[in-house]
Amino acid sequence: MENTSLAGVKALVFDTFGTVVDWRGSITQEGEAWGKARGLQIDWARFADRWRAGYAPSMDKVRKGQLPWTKLDDLHRALLEDLLKEFHIEGLTEAEKDHWNHVWHRLKPWPDSVAGLTRLKKKYLIAPLSNGNVALLTNMAKNSGLPWDAILGAELARHYKPDREVYLSAADFLGVKVPEVMMVAAHMGDLRAARELGLRTGFIYRPNEYGPTRQADKANPGDFDVVSTSMLDLASKMGA
Amino acid sequence: MENTSLAGVKALVFDTFGTVVDWRGSITQEGEAWGKARGLQIDWARFADRWRAGYAPSMDKVRKGQLPWTKLDDLHRALLEDLLKEFHIEGLTEAEKDHWNHVWHRLKPWPDSVAGLTRLKKKYLIAPLSNGNVALLTNMAKNSGLPWDAILGAELARHYKPDREVYLSAADFLGVKVPEVMMVAAHMGDLRAARELGLRTGFIYRPNEYGPTRQADKANPGDFDVVSTSMLDLASKMGA
């Protein structure tokens, strides 16, 4: 291990969208296949970006108490209604809208994710700590073979990241102390919020999360307890 | 499948203590090894039975509001203190008591459990729906290779079975309808409470749960949606 202060870490919890799975690529790919069959001319990468752009503002309404607790599937669904109008996609049945909304349950892992998590699982407890709801994360894992030990996240804490309750719930549910948990993410804001509360932090660089035109977060060595370039690199740096 | 009304089932959720794992045999075996090393003469099967006997009354205090929400690890630990006195086991450090309390995290599956769950997982979402807390169930799965898709149970609902909130939480967390969930247990009371709320029910006969002198629950064909003799038999009857 590169850092001996990491010897006490027992559990690694993961941001998922962008860190473990490629939301933009997965939605674009599924949209292109679906649109082709229907003869639709749509910029599906832009469709994915617009959907994702609604994510933080929706959760903020819950975080600020403007909405009661609402699981991410339902926030995604409300955003989808607007998106279908914006992209002039008409005539979908409720079942088709549900199927589209569940594209978030079918997001594909980055190529290194399953292999890296499988190594990490031999040495650590591993779980998502995502704003995705339990069904979304469970179906995502089942579809792609993500080998989680448990499914944690916002729905269990009834708070969205970066609310402190989510980070602290991970240690409580796993029965370990807060500094025995490492938050892993491709996003510096997520890691800073976790660090503030005493969790360890692991960064994974995901240069393609937002596509070719928007820069992804890039940490420098020393910015977090571990700074890595893939799940496999993280596993190596964590001695797994 | 023996019963066509089961075609809509999407998720199977499992009682664990007695249904998936052999609590009495596991505690007895670990106690015997530990006691031998210390030269203690203790009836470890009785020790296991006495610990388990405190389980329902402890949870009832939470269910009736005499105690605030308390996770099972903490109820077990309070019971252990009394048990150590009752069996005249003296001089344990806090770390040794913690280790003993975590014997519930190390319970061993019945011989058919992992193979049966592995088959069921190919066709259904599978999760524990236990009064055990998340850490207990997660560590138990990790120790023994129980291939759960998610970890559900009392701690997430902050209610103990047979409170209705626990059963209904399974459908809510998994994003399916209540009749799409089957509760699986070796205990008829657990299944009756689930059925009352609209869940499907699957019984597994575990004749050795309580040892040779106390009868285990034994259902007759037709008492529940599926009545089976092992996890493998359940898998066959569920077409998995």
Instruction: Identify each DSSP E strand in B65-192 by its residue range.
Output: 125-130, 152-153, 181-185
- Pick from B33, B5, A33, B91: nearest CA to A42: A33
Count of C-beta atoms within a 10 Å radius of residue B145: 11
Cα four-point dihedral sign B155, B159, B162, B165: negative
Residue B137 phi, psi dihedral angles, 5° rounding: -70, -35
pLDDT in tens, B118-137: 999 999 999 999 999 999 99
A74 touching B, CB under 8 A? no
Tell me the C-alpha distance between B52 and B26, whole Å.
Answer: 12
Tell me the C-alpha distance between B129 and B116, whole Å.
Answer: 17
Peptide bond into B162 cis (omega under 30): yes
Q: Which two three-digit tokens encode residue A89?
A: 């996609």
Inter-chain CB proximity A141 and B149 less than 8 Å = yes
Residue whose structure tokens are 């790919």: A29
Measure in Å the smallest separation between the Cα of B71 and chain A Cα atoms: 10
- When scoring A70, A134, A156 by the number of chain B Cβ atoms within 10 A, the one with the most, hence best to mutate, is A134
Contact residues, chain A, for B141 at CB < 8 Å: 149
CA atoms within 13 A on the CB side of B224: 31
Tell me the C-alpha distance between A30 and A59, whole Å.
Answer: 25
Q: Which two three-digit tokens encode residue B202?
A: 């699957």
The beta-carbon neighbor of B174 closest among A125, A135, A149 is A135
Q: How far is CA B137 from the centre of its chain?
A: 9
**What percent of chain A stands above pLDDT 90?**
97
- Global pTM exceeds 0.95: yes
Q: Are B167 and B199 within 8 A, CB to CB?
A: yes
What is the chain A residue with the closest CA to B151?
Answer: A150
ipTM of the complex: 0.96
The beta-carbon neighbor of B174 closest among A134, A150, A176 is A134
pLDDT in tens, A186-219: 999 999 999 999 999 999 999 999 999 999 999 9
Please give the pLDDT value at position B89. 96
Measure in Å the smallest separation between the Cα of B215 and chain A Cα atoms: 34
Contact residues, chain B, for A139 at CB < 8 Å: 125, 175
SS3 A239: coil
A175 touching B, CB under 8 A? yes
Residue whose structure tokens are 């193979």: B115
Please give the pLDDT value at position A5. 72
Contacting residues for B173 by C-beta, under 8 A, at least 6 apart: A133, A134, A135, A155, B150, B152, B156
CA atoms within 13 A on the CB side of B19: 25
- Ranges of chain A whose pLDDT falls below 50: none
Measure in Å the smallest separation between the Cα of B175 and chain A Cα atoms: 5
Contact residues, chain B, for A73 at CB < 8 Å: 175
| End-to-end C-alpha distance for chain B, whole angstroms | 9
Contacting residues for B212 by C-beta, under 8 A, at least 6 apart: none
State chain A's maximal CA–CA distance in angstroms: 58
The domains located in chain A, with CATH, are: 4-22+107-237 (3.40.50.1000), 24-106 (1.10.150.240)
Please give the pLDDT value at position B1. 57
Cα four-point dihedral sign A130, A136, A141, A144: negative
Peptide bond into A162 cis (omega under 30): yes
Please give the pLDDT value at position B81. 97
* DSSP-derived secondary structure for A102-116: GGGGGPPBPTTHHHH
Q: Are A182 and A199 within 8 A, CB to CB?
A: yes
Q: Which two three-digit tokens encode residue A190?
A: 């997520």
Measure in Å the smallest separation between the Cα of B94 and chain A Cα atoms: 16
A-B C-beta contacts closer than 8 Å:
54
Measure in Å the smallest separation between the Cα of B42 and chain A Cα atoms: 30
Residue whose structure tokens are 């995604």: A76
The beta-carbon neighbor of B134 closest among A135, A142, A150 is A150
Please give the pLDDT value at position A82. 96
B175 touching A, CB under 8 A? yes
Please give the pLDDT value at position A50. 97
Contact residues, chain B, for A156 at CB < 8 Å: 156
- Ranges of chain B whose pLDDT falls below 50: none
Measure in Å the smallest separation between the Cα of A174 and chain B Cα atoms: 4
CA Rg value for chain B: 18
